[in-house]
Amino acid sequence: MTKILVVEDEAKIARFVELELTHEGYEVDKVDNGRDAVDVALSNDYDLILLDILLPQLNGMEVLRRIRREKDVPVILLTARDAVMDKVAGLDAGADDYITKPFAIEELLARIRVALKRREVSQPVAEPATPAVAPQPAHHILAAKGVQLDVERHEVLVEGEPVELTNREFEVLKALLENLNIVMSRERLAQLACGYDFVGETNIIDVYIRHLRSKIDDRYGIKLISTVRGVGYVIREG
Ligand code: CA
């Protein structure tokens, strides 16, 4: 049976979600504060965790960080409307998805199914025997305008200097570099950077672009990423 932990301090929401999930055939545990959430999440094996951000004792972001240190369980954040920074920070901290409150239960159920399925797909299948000498992987490097992105090493160099990017910033930059001179919509970037079934608001892409510009364009005085009004973003070269 699929086990879900619901972390929510608003008793009415928690109860409603519990009833709906139980009705769908999930086994549900619920806790109403951050400390219990960490304890319960780490001492049990859940298939998925629904995690409110504003919680007593320990907020949801901190709960997420502590769970992530030890477990790879899918986490869907429950966030307040328009809290874009929460969403960005949440995804960077390792959340799989988020849903904005108030939400329709059908939408929550759909997100849960997607997160569970994605996790199933990413579970490693039987590992092939390790060869005695592992072949050296070829380094796949994407480059433009003095920026080099090493896909395998997960490294970005600007004018030879390493630049620290978060996972999502790296993925957005990679998508743009892989598609030089092609204008990428926010939707397309969100799909490439956050997963094909990304259904959140695509304005988080604007936030990642802003971060990339401050870390690369502003710092090195180059114009890397261009905005195409009403369409999206592009790195032009040649
Ligand atoms: Ca709350």
Query: Is residue 202 predicted with pLDDT exceeding 80?
Result: no
Given this model, what pLDDT does residue 199 score?
62
CA of 67 to the centre of ligand 1 (A): 18
CA of 118 to the centre of ligand 1 (A): 27
Arithmetic mean of pLDDT, 24-32: 96
Given this model, what pLDDT does residue 197 score?
61
Structure tokens at 77: 């954040």
CA of 142 to the centre of ligand 1 (A): 43
Arithmetic mean of pLDDT, 82-111: 80
| DSSP class per residue in 173-224 | HHHHHHTTT-PEEHHHHHHHHH-TT--S-TTHHHHHHHHHIIIIIHHHT---
CA of 172 to the centre of ligand 1 (A): 31
* Higher local confidence (pLDDT), 70 or 93: 70
pLDDT tens digit sequence for 134-151: 555 556 888 899 899 988
CA of 33 to the centre of ligand 1 (A): 9
- pTM of structure: 0.56
Given this model, what pLDDT does residue 156 score?
94
CA of 131 to the centre of ligand 1 (A): 50
